[in-house]
Amino acid sequence: MSITAVPLKPVKRRVLVYLWAGIAVAAVGAAALAVQTPVDPAATFLAHNAQTEGVKQTPSGLQYQVLTPGTGAPPTDQDVALVNYEGKFVDGTVFDKSQRPFPVPLGEHQVVPGFEEALTLIPKGGKYRVWIKPSLAYGDTARPGMPAHSTLVFDIEMLDFLSKAAVQQLQQQQMMQQQMMQGGGAPGGMPPGAMPGAPGGAPGGAVPQGN
């Protein structure tokens, strides 16, 4: 035995039992805390989905995948996009689908934020699949047929887009033609009750809100 070694007193068996019991209690407590920590299914799904080949993510957290590349620049807030779309939950259940080409005026918040952001990424002729996290969709608000905290999956096809000014002009021309067909006035006249300079707005009625 080295002369510099310090002899240790033997530890009583009862003390060792207490030590191991304390360690076991601490381990059980830590496991209980881990079990009690809430798991966000949407965050878990999106974290896994982000690792899928071809999936990209914007700074806002919107995830997308190019199914068919388009050509040219995508639309801006000054445009009206004409799209086909199909909306699903992450389990593949379809909750919405366009029945005909659907017009969406951008920059007017008429669709959920994630859907509108997606449209600003897709050039003409492009088809993208997008995953919209709850905070970019309906968040904690439940809707008929749609649970709260739902992650939405859309396949969106950008058929075309025009400037809002061009759409307004087309609408005015269409109203004039209808007026002429009805014999209501000469070319260039205003339809009854119309106000000069009134905004035309986007064509169509409702826009996809995920329901």
What pLDDT is stored for residue 183 in this prediction? 73
More confident residue, 32 or 90: 90
Average pLDDT, the chain: 81
Neighbours of 204 (CB within 10 A): 14
DSSP 98-132: -SS-EEEETTS--S-HHHHHHHTTPPBT-EEEEEE
More confident residue, 208 or 211: 208
What pLDDT is stored for residue 20 in this prediction? 60
Rounded Cα distance, 54 and 43, in Å? 19
DSSP state of 21: H
Q: Above 80 in pLDDT, residue 21? A: no
Amino acid identity, position 40: D
| Helix, strand, or coil (residue 30) | helix
Q: Above 90 in pLDDT, residue 189? A: no
pTM here is 0.69
Rounded Cα distance, 210 and 76, in Å? 21
**Taking the C-alpha atoms of 198, 204, 209 and 211 in order, what is their torsion angle to the nearest 10 degrees?**
150
Neighbours of 107 (CB within 10 A): 13
How many helices and strands, by DSSP H and E, does the chain display?
4, 7
The pLDDT tens digits of the residues spanning 91-114 come to 999 999 999 999 999 999 999 999
Q: Are the C-beta atoms of 137 and 143 separated by less than 8 Å?
A: no
